[in-house]
Amino acid sequence: MRLDHIAYRVQDRDATVEYLENVLKYTQAEEFEITFSDNSKAMCVAMTPPEKSHSSQKFSVDFPAVGPTVTSYHLAPEIFISQGSKGSIVDTWVKETGGGIHHLAYSVQDIDAKVKEFRSLGVRFLSDEIIDCPEDNLRQIFTEPQTLLGGIIIELIERGDKGFCKGSVKNLMESTSTESKNKDGHEGMERPRL
């Protein structure tokens, strides 16, 4: 399991992108707009870290269990930024919280097994089913906001062959709506950072 991406919901997407380009040397990878069921929108930008833009670049890593090793596997996570139109799920969240990290996504080899394991540990999810991308084998799901982590959501992601999937982003974002309910009828309003 590794940190795949950090998702920020922000007030000013362009300023955030510029900041990440200048300070952390991230590069804009893809940009797209989501239209929700209520016709509100979210503008999304995926950014890749400098290490990933040079995939052949090797660097040394010291793993305590095995000692120093050389790898080309990038360690810095991607960053996913979204800014919502007025009244949208994203905009409402930013207004309520001041914006910032919305979720941390961990990539897993077997998302079905990991969801089952999380559920056995009492972790609840915002959707009953794992969200599948129709055009790729990308699979994702959000936990409920984790109180012990300050209300951050954990995303589990099993990567496909492509990047982010527009339809999946829409479904994931809509699963964070305060109107959503879990299977047991648990009301979303108990989730402080939504």
Which residues, 6 or more positions from 18, have their beta carbon under 8 angstroms from its beta carbon?
none
The nearer residue to Fe ion, 7 or 42, going by C-beta atoms, is 7
The nearer residue to Fe ion, 74 or 103, going by C-beta atoms, is 103
The nearer residue to Fe ion, 101 or 124, going by C-beta atoms, is 101
The nearer residue to Fe ion, 60 or 175, going by C-beta atoms, is 175
Least distance (Å) between residue 68 CB and Fe ion? 32
Least distance (Å) between residue 72 CB and Fe ion? 24
The nearer residue to Fe ion, 104 or 178, going by C-beta atoms, is 104
Q: What is the C-alpha separation between 145 and 176, in angstroms, rounded? A: 9
Least distance (Å) between residue 32 CB and Fe ion? 14
Least distance (Å) between residue 7 CB and Fe ion? 5
Which residues, 6 or more positions from 85, have their beta carbon under 8 angstroms from its beta carbon?
40, 41, 42, 91
Identify the H or E element spanning 104.
Answer: strand 100-107
For 2, 162, 184, the CA distances from 146, given in Å and listed in that order, are: 18, 29, 18
Least distance (Å) between residue 80 CB and Fe ion? 5
Q: Which residues bind Fe ion (CB under 5 A)?
A: 7, 105, 155
CA 194 to chain centre: 15
Secondary structure of 7-34 as H, E, C letters: EEECCCHHHHHHHHHHHCCCEEEEEEEE
Identify the H or E element spanning 105.
Answer: strand 100-107
Q: What is the C-alpha separation between 48 and 102, in angstroms, rounded? A: 18
Least distance (Å) between residue 176 CB and Fe ion? 11
The nearer residue to Fe ion, 7 or 194, going by C-beta atoms, is 7
